Structures are given as structure tokens and as C-alpha cells.
Amino acid sequence: MQMVLEILNLYNCMSTYLIIGAMLFGFGIYGLMVHRTVIGMLICAEFVLAAASVNFMAFSRFLAPEPAMGQIFTLFIMAIAAAEAAIAVSIVVAVYRNYKSIDVEDLGDLHG
């Protein structure tokens, strides 16, 4: 019973959020290595950015002197991620038009 109540209290604990962030980072790195298409790697890069956001928010909520700092950082990260996604998708479309493929193995013109 005590255990159940402690689990229900998880949202008041900073390490919960830090572990969520670490998990998202691990998934992102794993996916970046496993996915073979550019779009799949883009999706996993979003996870890495989200991990950074969660960490900023957790530190701001539990430790930092200024209450809104983590939210500001997260909003900036969101803006950067949106810009990055827009650019990346347009690059992918341009690449697909030239190569008829988005597999990273096929994009080897600069390969030594």
C-alpha cells in the first residue's frame, strides 16, 4: 500500500522527470543509429531535443531561482525544432527529387 502511494507521488519528484528525459535521449540515440532513412533520423532527432526540454523544465520546476526560465528555454527549443523540421523536410524532398530515394546508404556522392 505504501509502495502504491509512493508511485502515485512520482510526479512530485525531480528524478522522475530526469529519468524520462534520459529515456527519451536513449531512444533518440538508438533510433538515430538504427533508422536508415533521413526522415526516420529526423524523427529521432526530435526525441533528443525533447529530452533536453524535459530536463530544462524539471530543473526549472524543482531547483532554479527564476520560475519561468525553463519554460522560456523550452519555447526556444520548440522554435528551433520547428525551423529545423521545416528545413529538413524540404531538404528531404529536394533529395528525393534528385535521387528517388531517402535511404542514407544511397546518398553517397561525397563518399570518399
Partner 1 sequence: MQPLVCPSGTLPSLFSAEGFAGIIFLLTVFLVISGAVIAVVSKRLVRAVAGLAVCFTGLAGVYYFLLSPFVAMMQMLIYVGAVSILIAFGIMMATPEDKITPDNKYLSKLIGPLAGSVGALFFAGFSLLAVKTDWQVFPEHAAADGSIKAVGMTLLTTHSMVFELISIVLLLAIIGALVLARRGRN
Which residues between 69 and 108 bind partner 1 (CB under 8 A)? 69-72, 74-76, 78-87, 89-98, 100-103
- 3-state SS assignment for residue 109: coil
Smaller CB separation from partner 1, 61 or 112? 61
By beta-carbon proximity to partner 1, the closer residue of 54 and 110 is 54
67 or 110: CB nearest partner 1? 67
What is the Cα–Cα distance from 41 to 103, expressed in whole angstroms?
10
User: Exactly one of 65, 109, 111, 112 binds partner 1 (CB under 8 A); which one?
Assistant: 65
CB 5 → partner 1: shortest distance, Å? Answer: 4
17 binds partner 1 (CB under 8 A): yes
* Angle between helix 38-62 and 69-99 (nearest 10): 180
Q: Which of 33, 110, 111, 112 binds partner 1 (CB under 8 A)?
A: 33
85: buried, middle or exposed (CB in 10 Å: 19+, 13-18, 0-12)? middle
* DSSP symbol at 43: H
The alpha-carbon radius of gyration of the chain (Å, integer) is 19
And the C-alpha cell for 9?
Answer: 507521488
38 to 57: interface string for partner 1, x by CB under 8 A: -xx-xxx-xx--x---x--x
